[in-house]
Structure 1
């Protein structure tokens, strides 16, 4: 791995989105869920046919980036590209990835989120839909659409019309005392906090259903919440014209995750 002080014009991550990233929350200098994030990037390297992640170097770069942030709460991004070289889509015969990290203060979200249903679809047939690749344009467009409508976040369906995720979060809903979330086969990223919520719910004796469901399920939900590594668990106030109330289950899960 070679760290990058600047990205050259022939970098495959820049030109083709050929690479991966992870975003971690740091609290008072401590990197949350570090091993889980490195595990996911390592698995992504294997799926994309990239050399194995240098985990020690990754941690060193993240801590180095974090040292320059004067804030108790920070977002740390680890980026890995497929490096330089190759012609067109083809990688060079020997791939030398480029690995670097950045960090910035990260504020706590202000209250419950407002959601809107996006017209941008998630491609459940693509392996990239289950990885944090550098090709995130669909998510960018979905978030842009949500902001234009006055919402905080977008709900993305897949090409079959099933609920997949938010633009930058996993999605859960509550109904009749049970917790539901889209299955990974719907084109869903295996979120680090998503996995923690499922594990904590099991410890609390709460049934969790990973499902393929249409947006009508969200219309009938008693409560909805989002999860990602920076916001943790964030309740949802409404999806377009549908309003949701506070959820005791979501509150219990949030306390257990803290």
Structure 2
């Protein structure tokens, strides 16, 4: 379902499939967030804060009120769905879809591969969840065509950054390690939750750190915590620490 409103104070959302043409169409000037909705939006406040920061960076009006959005979710009976909020110069767009991951995915774990494309750690867009997303989409589609679930990017210095739609972590000496934001990645909402609940080492890592690790997992707002069972030709078994993180995360979102 798609709801569209004019990006101004006092906006109202209407179910329709047309929008006002603006610089998002011609130049990709837009910001979005994808939010897991159970009974209400999971980490909704954090998503809206990041959405607002993105709008400030791209000079896009921000007119969303948290309480009004919660009321909208309630009134439209949005439950157990993915809610995507997109803001452009003239449009506010809410769209919903089914959550794409099931128990079978978590049981088998995800397979990942390395992209030949490099992240630009000096680009402002690298750190924003902008609608200039086609490179991520194309690289992930290519990986899926090759039988993988996700694709991982290095930056221009050969350092680990992130997945097309996820943050990445690995276990070394039973310690959680993840690339620091300045390597060129989006500071994910679930990444923030992990840092707040576990001791995490942030650093600059290379591909061998990943290959030689004791375990790998990825995260995003819809996926939650997903262990990686295969990195290209290498296979990884289950890891107690990853299961502990996943279990604690799932318990923490029950209240939403």
CA distance in 2: counterparts of 1:222 and 1:236, whole angstroms = 11
Correspondences of 1:1-258 after superposition (within 5 Å): 1-2=7-8, 5-8=16-19, 10-27=21-38, 29-56=39-66, 59=69, 63=73, 67=77, 72-83=79-90, 98-109=91-102, 110=105, 111-202=108-199, 208-258=200-250
CA distance in 1: counterparts of 2:75 and 2:136, whole angstroms = 25
Query: What secondary structure, in the 3-state scheme, does the structure 1 residue paired with 2:118 have?
Result: coil
5+ long unaligned stretches in structure 2? 1-6, 251-256
Query: What secondary structure, in the 3-state scheme, does the structure 1 residue paired with 2:132 have?
Result: coil
Q: What is the TM-score of this pair, normalised by structure 2? A: 0.85
CA distance in 2: counterparts of 1:135 and 1:36, whole angstroms = 22
CA distance in 2: counterparts of 1:37 and 1:58, whole angstroms = 15
- Deviation, 1:11, is 2.1
- Deviation, 1:54, is 2.5
Query: What secondary structure, in the 3-state scheme, does the structure 1 residue paired with 2:139 have?
Result: helix
- Deviation, 1:8, is 4.3
- Deviation, 1:10, is 2.9
- Deviation, 1:220, is 0.6
CA distance in 2: counterparts of 1:146 and 1:61, whole angstroms = 39
Q: What is the TM-score of this pair, normalised by structure 1? A: 0.84
Q: 1:61 and 1:247, CA in 2 relative to 1: closer, same or farther beyond 3 A?
A: same
Structure 1 vs Structure 2 CA RMSD: 2.0
Query: What secondary structure, in the 3-state scheme, does the structure 2 residue paired with 1:118 have?
Result: strand
- Deviation, 1:62, is 5.7
8 Å Cα contact 2:41-2:70 kept in structure 1: no
- Deviation, 1:240, is 0.4
Q: 1:53 and 1:210, CA in 2 relative to 1: closer, same or farther beyond 3 A?
A: farther
- CA distances 1:180-239 after superposition (whole Å, capped 9, x unpaired): 11111111101000000111113xxxxx11111111111111100010000100000011
